[in-house]
A = this chain, B = another copy of it.
Amino acid sequence: MADGRTWLADLVSTVVPGDAASALAAEAELERKTKPRGSLGRLEALAVQIAAARRSLSLEALPGAVLVAAADHGYAAAGVSAYPQEVTRQMLRNIVAGGAAVSVLARASGARLELVDVGVIDGEANPRIRTHRLAPGTRDATAGPAMTPDEARAAVELGARITTELAADGIAVLALGEMGIGNTTAASAIAAALLGVAPERVCGRGTGIDDAGWERKVATVAGALKTNGIDASDPLHTLTAVGGLEIAFLVGAMLGGAAARLVLVLDGFIVGSAALVATRLAPPVRDYMVASHLSPEPGHGLLLSELGLTPLLDWQLRLGEGSGATLALPLLRSAGAILAEMATFAGAGVTDTGR
């Protein structure tokens, strides 16, 4: 890899495909369970994928965590959000205080919540926030790169390091989320660039902007892509030039998480944009990804198609924070339990007709 990117090549080289032998063994074991073959549909497919990711059929316990990365965006100044920029830090406080949707859903799902400040403006010091403020938000990408190469590298490496720690702590399934006013604009720029489509096709209403706001958003994305001379064949440059600190963190979290055999549960459009970057850098990372839901953001369906991921839920969720991914965690735990705990025809003395 060119221009001093051996760090990235090193990180990418740690990601290996899911384990085909574990997948085959899981499929064979599911054939022996007391149910008509294939009758648990997607739940069986999920169990097989988790077995391949974990290299194991012992999926009784799948300890879960939610990893939420937060940062601010130069894009916010362009009036692309229905909410002012200070909401990023206000929501950070709300998340750790337990009142945000993701906080509530993490409790309901029995998952540990980890919040990382990767670059929130005026973010507060709080022992329950992992503070690694790499920059005071990104720069205005319509005037130049949103991040420096060093900032992007630091964010990616931080994401990889923290997921590696979580895996060492026994986490098996990781819901990924984000917080950052303006970040659907960053995600739209990444998606437009890497999917090769016009900004109009991927820009949505985000937190709820009106028509004029949407037009500003489209123009902002177009401007950022033009200013930075985006080359879709270089996902790291795209990420650096038009992305965001929390998105770069998530790319690293996916690469590090896959290397550590974590199941990566994607939230909506913004996490999806990170997934696209990660997959372009290291295609096998895809084997570890589960799409929790389909967002109404128009770019999300395009991203999931490109990634070849079928969402678990189609619930019109568009909050972010990792809320959709966290909501889906019990479904993954159930898939693991089916593989690990169901009786076989022989073991339970149930007549097997082979159907």
A37 at the binding interface (Cβ < 8 Å): yes
Q: Which B residues touch A161, using CB under 8 A? A: none
Partner of A355, one of B82, B99, B349, B351: B82
Q: How far is the CA of A342 from the CA of B101 in the complex (A)?
A: 6
Q: Is A90 an interface residue (CB 8 A)?
A: yes
Residue A55, interface by CB 8 Å: no
A331 contacts partner chain B, Cβ-Cβ < 8 Å: yes
A129-153 contact mask (Cβ, 8 Å, vs B): 1 or 0: 0000000000000000000000000
User: In the complex the two chains form, what is the Cα distance from A259 to B111 in whole Å?
Assistant: 35
Alpha-carbon distance between A192 and B266 when the two chains are bound, in angstroms = 41
Q: How far is the CA of A100 from the CA of B316 in the complex (A)?
A: 33
Which residues does chain B contribute within 8 Å of A337, judged by CB atoms? Answer: 104-105, 107-108
A228 on interface, CB distance cutoff 8 Å: no
**A327 lies within 8 A of B100 (CB):** no
Q: Which stretch in A4-12, A162-170, A317-325 binds the other chain?
A: A317-325
Question: Digit string of A17-45 for contact with B (CB within 8 Å is 1, else 0)?
Answer: 00000000000000001111101111100
Contact-residue bracket for chain A: 35 or more
Closest residue of chain B to A316, judged by CB? B41
A36-B318 in contact (CB<8A): yes
- Given A39-B207, A319-B36, A351-B84; A330-B99 close (CB under 8 Å): no
**Contact (Cβ within 8 A) A348 B97:** yes
A351 CB, nearest partner CB in chain B, Å? 5
Q: How far is the CA of A317 from the CA of B334 in the complex (A)?
A: 14
Q: A39-B207, A104-B338, A208-B355 are in contact. Are A347 and B93 (CB under 8 A)?
A: no
**Does A56 belong to the interface (CB within 8 Å)?**
no
List residues of A (298-341) whose CB comes within 8 Å of B's CBs.
312-319, 323, 327, 330-331, 333-334, 337-338, 341
Q: Are B317 and A100 in contact (CB under 8 A)?
A: no
Tell me if B42 and A315 are in contact (CB < 8 A): yes
A222 lies within 8 A of chain B by Cβ? no
> Looking at the complex, which one of B36, B94, B108, B207 makes contact with A208 (CB distance below 8 Å)?
B36
**Nearest Cβ in chain B — how far from A336, in angstroms?**
8
A78 within 8 A of B: no
A window 54-112: CB within 8 A of B: 82-84, 86-87, 90-91, 93-94, 97-101, 104-105, 107-109
Query: For residue A321, which residue of chain B has the nearest CB?
Result: B35
> Which residues on B sit within 8 Å (CB–CB) of A43?
315, 317, 327
Q: How far is the CA of A209 from the CA of B355 in the complex (A)?
A: 8
Report yes or no: A317 in contact with B108, Cβ–Cβ below 8 A: no
CB distance from A345 to the nearest CB of B (A): 9
State whether the Cβ of A16 lies closer than 8 Å to any Cβ in chain B: no
Q: Within 8 Å of chain B (Cβ to Cβ): is A121?
A: no
A343 in the interface (beta carbon within 8 A): yes
Kindly state whether residue A353 has any CB partner on chain B within 8 Å.
yes
Flag whether A350 is at the interface (Cβ < 8 A): yes
A351 proximity list for chain B (CB < 8 A): 83-84, 86-87, 90
Residues of B within 8 A of A83 (CB): 36, 351, 353, 355
Q: Closest CB-CB distance, A45 to chain B, in whole Å?
A: 9
The residue from B105, B342, B349, B350 contacting A334, defined by CB atoms under 8 A apart: B105
Additional A-B contacts beyond A84-B353, A105-B334 (4; CB < 8 A): A41-B296, A93-B348, A93-B349, A97-B343
